[in-house]
Amino acid sequence: MLTGRRILLAVSGGVAAYKAAYLARRLVEAGAEVRTIMTESATRFLGPQTLAAVTGVPPEIEMFDRPSVSPHTTLGQWAEAMVVAPATAATLARIAHGLSEDLLSATVLATRAPLVVAPAMHTEMWEHPATQRSIAIVRGDGHVVVGPGSGALAGGDEGRGRMAEPEEILAAVEALFEDGPLAGRTVLVTAGGTREPIDPVRYIGNRSSGKMGNAIALAAARRGARVVLVTTVEAPAGPIEVVPVETAEQMAEAVWSRAPGCDVAVFAAAVADFRPEAPSGGKLKRADGPPEIGLEPTPDVLRGVAAMDDRPFLVGFAAETGDVAEAIAKGKHERVDLLVANDVARADSGFGTDTNAVTLVAPDGSTEPWPLATKDEVAERLWDRVASLLPGGES
Ligand code: CTP
């Protein structure tokens, strides 16, 4: 998707710099020509030789004593997109205030290319009013900010401030060029497992991690689609419109109101079929003994969209603990344009895993088992297939 694009990757000095090497590799794999800049402190976290080996060109570090008389303008003019990953608090502040005291920040000023910034720092630094001012300015200047997400940080700490994953940053870069096979299309994806309240603190839920839906949303964004992700879990950082929901009812409302304008809807969420009919307003007490929880059906999100006159191309998922024949016997493939049946009983497939073993089922019931693959790979392959089946796609 980035074939021949000139991407300038700038790395500042945080521990997430080690992930920049993988980002560089992913950019190269996506077909881009990649040049890199490192700040002095970035070289403490990542060896320049690593970036040189991955991209084929040594990173630029110094502003002076280089063969190029003006490295910041040369690189700035060369780039079709510039990515700062990780962007430390100091680098963010420099970008926000137009300071050009090192090669990285000077190049940010010297380029007219779109800029993608992936902040990474400790939670305290991220939440500091000074950093929040910087990020508001950076956003206000029209730059694309990806992340940060939450998770493990340096020194064993946890919290918000973790750099977005390389795949998420890659999706943001690819979306800048919007020349993918899904350019001009709007895609709706559901992800995660719904939570149906029993009382204010307890719920009926399921083991869905949302990884498959997240991968599908990101892969669509990488192909240039406008993506709406209706999800019960944390969404990936990227050029995606996120609609957070918890229950099947909320998911139904969010999806049904947005589906009419969409070209494709992918239902990767694990939606509860039943919910407590009368959730308690207060926390149930142990002393009151085991509660009797009566259940009632939830709205079927997918069926609601399938019944629409001008419905999008529908991709359903069928979580099975047995043979895919069960999904077919239940007629799940007849409601959709493509059914992805996955075996959630296998240890390497289904809920929470990074890989998935799926079988595609066409509306006529014909099946196509796919080999075990990562959820990212399944998502890529799925979009190749969907794109070929859409009106105007090459089939
Ligand atoms: N689905 C939905 N709304 C529901 C239940 C399911 O949109 N209330 C969607 C899921 O996102 C999935 C598809 O319907 O894409 C099939 O979900 P699954 O749970 O496998 O199927 P069910 O029809 O609920 O069948 P069963 O539970 O009997 O296997």
Q: Tell me the per-residue pLDDT of 112-139, one tens digit each, with 9 for 90 and over.
A: 889 999 999 999 999 999 999 999 999 9
- pLDDT of 33 > 50? The answer is yes
* 352-361: Cβ within 8 A, 24+ apart: 352/207, 352/208, 352/209, 352/211, 353/211, 354/211, 356/212, 359/324, 360/385, 361/318, 361/324, 361/327, 361/328, 361/332, 361/333
Contact 304, 256 (CB under 8 A): yes
Index of the ligand 1 atom closest to the CA of residue 304:
7
Task: Give the model's pLDDT for residue 395.
Answer: 47
Domain boundaries of the chain, sorted by first residue: 6-176, 186-389
Confidence (pLDDT) at 370: 95
Q: What is the pLDDT of residue 216?
A: 97
Q: Write down the pLDDT at residue 307.
A: 96
Asked if the model's pLDDT at residue 168 lies above 70, the reply is yes
Distance 318 CA to ligand 1 centre (A): 6
Q: Would the pTM count as exceeding 0.75? A: no
What spacing in Å lies between the alpha carbon of 205 and ligand 1's midpoint? 14
Pairing of strands 355-356, 373-374: antiparallel
Place of tokens 């080996």: 53
Q: Is 147 touching ligand 1 by the criterion CB < 6 Å? A: no
pLDDT above 90 as % of the chain: 74
- Residue 334 CB–ligand 1 contact under 6 Å: no
Tell me, using a 6 A CB cutoff, whether residue 328 lines ligand 1. Answer: no
Tokens of residue 309, six digits = 């006159």
For range 154-164, the mean pLDDT? 86
Q: What is the pLDDT of residue 394?
A: 54
Token pair for 215: 């991968």
What are the residues facing 388 on neighbouring strands? none
| Smallest CA separation from ligand 1 atom 21, residue | 318
71-78 and 103-110 helices, crossing angle to 10°: 50
> What is the H or E stretch that residue 384 is in?
helix 375-389
Give residue 221's pLDDT band: very low, low, confident or very high (50, 70, 90): confident
Ligand 1 geometric centre to CA of 301 (Å): 8
Residue 300 near ligand 1, beta carbon < 6 Å: yes
Q: What is the model's pLDDT at position 62?
A: 87
Ligand 1 centroid – CA 94 distance (Å): 49
Q: Do domains 6-176 and 186-389 have the same CATH topology?
A: yes
Fold for domain 186-389? Answer: Rossmann fold (3.40.50)
Closest CA to 5 of 234, 194, 173: 173
Question: Superfamily for 6-176?
Answer: Flavin prenyltransferase-like (3.40.50.1950)
